Chains A and B, each alone.
Chain A
Amino acid sequence: MVEQHPTIRGGVYQPGFYTVSAHVPMGANVGATPDGRHAGAPLADGGLSPTAGRDRKGATAVLHSVSKLDLKLASNGTLLNMKFLPSFFEGPEALRKFATLLRGFSALHIPHVQFNVVDAGTLRAAQANPDEWRSLVVRVAGYSAYFIELDQELQDEIIRRSEFGEI
């Protein structure tokens, strides 16, 4: 469809699946969406990232969903953000598992992903706005859990620990 519309100087448009930081102002001009997003709320924070809180089944499921799109059509590029806690990268075993995730990512032929490592500030934001951070997974003592489903008391403790980078 894009190809049917030349640019004002006769060139071709290059579709790109990314919002960079424009997801907030763009969201302000978009009405409510059927996924439960309120009118004016921010859009997803990358062209391919799930809207905040919609990815309920973890990172591998996100990569799978993204791999279903024909990204060759996005000749201007794509943007996929994923967030992890520092503990995800702690120690040689964790790094090996991260490498496995990356190998799966490339096996699925996804052209781009970038990783954010969240900090205590993010966790505080999640505590204040649980709906936007529904999918944030944290680890405590060998167990993983959705941060927003934890007791306030335990959330506070994890925030304290993350400030010292030892989750």
Chain B
Amino acid sequence: MGLSQVTGIVFDIQRMSMHDGPGLRTNVFLKGCPLRCAWCANPESQASYPEPMLRAGQCIDCGQFLETCTHCLPNWRGQQRNQTQRIEIDERVALCPTGAVTWTGARRAAGDVIAEVLRDRPFYGDGGGMTVTGGEPTMQPDFCAALLQLAHDAGVATALETCGYTQWAIFERLLPHVDLFLYDIKHVDAAPHRQFTGVDNAPILTNLQRLTAAGARVRARIPLIPGFNATPEDVAAIAKFIAYLPRPVQGVDLLPYHTMGKAKYTALGREFPWVDHARLTDAQIREMATIFAAHGLAVTIGG
């Protein structure tokens, strides 16, 4: 089977992204993530299978079904659908006059995705290209490798955004086809990491050390989450870890906590798990940036 025929579950392709890597980029979002970060802004990226979403605000109660979609939603929550449910949801998606009901996530062939990515080739000058993100793209290693390699074959620069929680062998395989890693570091302390992301951070930290040692170009990305890691002490520990990697990173991007994903939880019929946390003030964010700068790291705020 050729690389173009390898398939995977994609939940979005975002063209002209200005924030996830250099230049103008096309972001390919792969569905499925091994982490369950309590503050996650893209809850639809977590499950590895397609899920129905209902944007209740766009529903006009069209009356095409005995049960309204709003009424049906509770039965759709966080589970793989059986055949009958899938058909029922397909019907609703096909007939919805406003686009309020959609499937998020669809199986697509790598060649088909790359064709869409190549449409923006005139805009990939000045360092731009394709970013494969998610979810966690390494959860679909064959598909991810196919996308990266096809992009390289077409002369398009690549970036891979990753939470780092994967097997080293997978990174090793992807390494030749990734021009830039956007690598998330959330906490260097194991206990809070396990509590708020659901997984141990040891593989994440080790993989980053090995990636830099292997000569990968890396930008570290730090979500600043009040109530989790947005204290001067936690941030200093992260800065220190990054400053002492085997080889230096290209820079550090600070990603301040936001609640833009809140409506998506509602659309998926889930509760937003991370409430009661105020957003950081600009002064607080600048203070965190100073800590990274003091460790000799080039730091930017926002992607």
What is the chain B residue whose CB lies nearest that of A166?
Answer: B282
B32-46 residues at the A interface, CB under 8 angstroms: 41
- Per-residue interface assignment for chain A, residues 63 to 85, with 1 indicating a CB less than 8 Å from any chain B CB and 0 otherwise: 01000000000000000000000
Which residue in chain B gives the minimum CB-CB distance to A96? B126
A60:B24 contact, CB within 8 angstroms? yes
Question: Which residue in A108, A141, A144, A154 is a CB contact (below 8 Å) of B255?
Answer: A141
Q: Which interface residue of A107, A143, A144, A149 has the most chain B CB atoms within 10 A? A: A143
**How distant is the Cα of A107 from the Cα of B123 in the complex, in angstroms?**
9
Minimum C-beta distance from A143 to chain B (A): 6
B221's closest neighbor in chain A, by CB? A142
Asked whether B125 is an interface residue with its Cβ less than 8 Å from the other chain, the reply is yes
What's the least CB distance linking B30 to chain A, in Å?
Answer: 18
| Residue in B18, B119, B128 whose beta carbon sits within 8 Å of that of A61 in the complex | B119
User: With A61-B15, A94-B18, A141-B302 known to touch, is A154 a contact of B260 (CB < 8 Å)?
Assistant: yes
Bound together, the chains give a CA A143 to CA B39 distance in angstroms of 14
Interface residues of A in 115-148 (CB under 8 A from B): 139-145
A165 is an interface residue with CB less than 8 A from chain B: no
From A13-21, A23-31, A44-52, A97-105, the one touching the partner chain is A97-105
Partner of A100, one of B24, B253, B259, B262: B24
Q: Is A143's CB under 8 angstroms from B258's CB?
A: yes
If A64-B119, A142-B303 touch, whether A150 touches B19 (CB-CB below 8 Å) is no
In whole angstroms, what is the CA distance A142 to B219 when docked? 15
Assembly CA distance A66 to B259 (angstroms): 35
- Residue A57 CB within 8 A of the other chain: yes
Does B200 sit at the interface, judged by CB under 8 A? Answer: no
B140 in the interface (beta carbon within 8 A): no
CA distance in complex: A97, B303 (Å):
13
Decide if A151 is an interface residue (CB 8 Å cutoff): yes
Residue of B125, B255, B303 near A104 (CB, 8 A) is: B125
- Interface range, A side: 20 to 34
User: How many positions in chain B have a CB within 8 Å of any CB in the partner chain?
Assistant: 29
B34 → A minimal CB distance (Å): 22
A139 to B302 CA separation, bound complex (whole angstroms) = 10
- Alpha-carbon distance between A60 and B14 when the two chains are bound, in angstroms: 11
Q: Is the interface of B mostly helix, strand, loop or mixed?
A: loop
CB of A34 closer than 8 Å to a CB of B: no
- Asked if B122 lies at the interface with its beta carbon under 8 angstroms from chain A, I say yes
- Is B126 a contact of A60 with CB atoms below 8 Å? no
Contact call B128/A100, Cβ cutoff below 8 A: yes
Give the residues in chain B near A11, CB-CB below 8 Å.
none
Docked CA distance A58–B126 (Å): 19
Contact of A140 among B24, B119, B253, B260 (CB under 8 A): B260
A59 within 8 A of B: yes
- Choice from A59, A149, A150 contacting B16 with Cβ under 8 Å: A59
Task: Tell me whether A101 and B19 are in contact (CB under 8 A).
Answer: no
With A88-B18, A103-B125, A140-B258 given, name 6 new contacts (CB 8 A). A60-B24, A100-B23, A103-B123, A103-B126, A141-B256, A142-B301
The 9 closest A-B pairs by CB, nearest first: A142-B302, A104-B123, A104-B122, A142-B303, A58-B16, A107-B122, A60-B16, A58-B15, A100-B126
Task: Give me 18 A-to-B residue pairs in the complex whose CB atoms sit less than 8 angstroms apart, sorted by A's number.
Answer: A58-B14, A59-B16, A60-B119, A61-B16, A64-B119, A99-B126, A103-B123, A103-B126, A104-B24, A104-B122, A104-B123, A108-B122, A141-B255, A142-B301, A143-B41, A144-B17, A150-B260, A151-B263
